[in-house]
Structure 1
């Protein structure tokens, strides 16, 4: 439960940073960012392993870069399901995917250094 909360906050921060840096990504409130972060965490928990398994051959061919495409699709899905978040195109959904990836790497590095 604690881990889901931290992942939700990390995702929400990624959506907030992306909406601040790029005006095409609109975020109506912090509540919308938290909701989108929570949805992304839940969607990634259940749907991402299945998509990674299905796309394993293409992921091997692209040396894992197709995972970024899957993350972008999941971000587009969470933006579609969130009322206060608007991401117009795949290109603009790629930006939060990269930001959230980097924030998650920082989060995992901090957790590993604590133990």
Structure 2
């Protein structure tokens, strides 16, 4: 359970860094969710919820898409994985459009692809810091 929560936090952190760097990506927190009156808390909750959705998309949909696109990924020496990651981000954008908390991306090619690269780098570093990549005998 702790690893799951850390992964959600890492996803939220990676999305936050991507929204800081890219002007075409934005997270829109809802004022009605929680209704705490604290905009910082609403923003943190928004990133955690979007990180949860992004993690679920990566856990369920990404393995199927990666398997189906394996020939193209091999042909491009793995670079097609960036496009797959951008597609998972766009799927997350679509799924969160049905929630009160939303993430928006203005363009697939530049914003989503660069966001996928940024999210991958931040996730890799944060997973290394938190030790989420290590196998354990829990």
Computing the radius of gyration from Cα coordinates, the structure with the larger value is: 2
Q: What residue in structure 1 maps to residue 12 of structure 2?
A: 12
Q: CA RMSD in A?
A: 1.9
| 1:70 is aligned to 2:84 | yes
Structure 1 spans left out of the alignment, 5+ residues = none
- 1:64-114 Cα deviation digits (max 9, x unpaired): 11111111000111122224211111121122211221122213433268x
Cα deviation, residue 59, structure 1: 0.6
- Which of 73, 83, 97 pairs up with 2:116? 97
* Alignment-derived partner of residue 41 in structure 1: 55
**TM-score if structure 1 supplies the norm length?**
0.86
- Equivalent pairs counted in the alignment come to 114
- Runs of 4+ aligned residues of structure 1 deviating over 2 Å after TM superposition are 1-4, 28-32, 107-110
Please tell me whether the aligned partners of residues 14 and 96 of structure 1 are also in contact (alpha carbons under 8 angstroms).
Answer: no
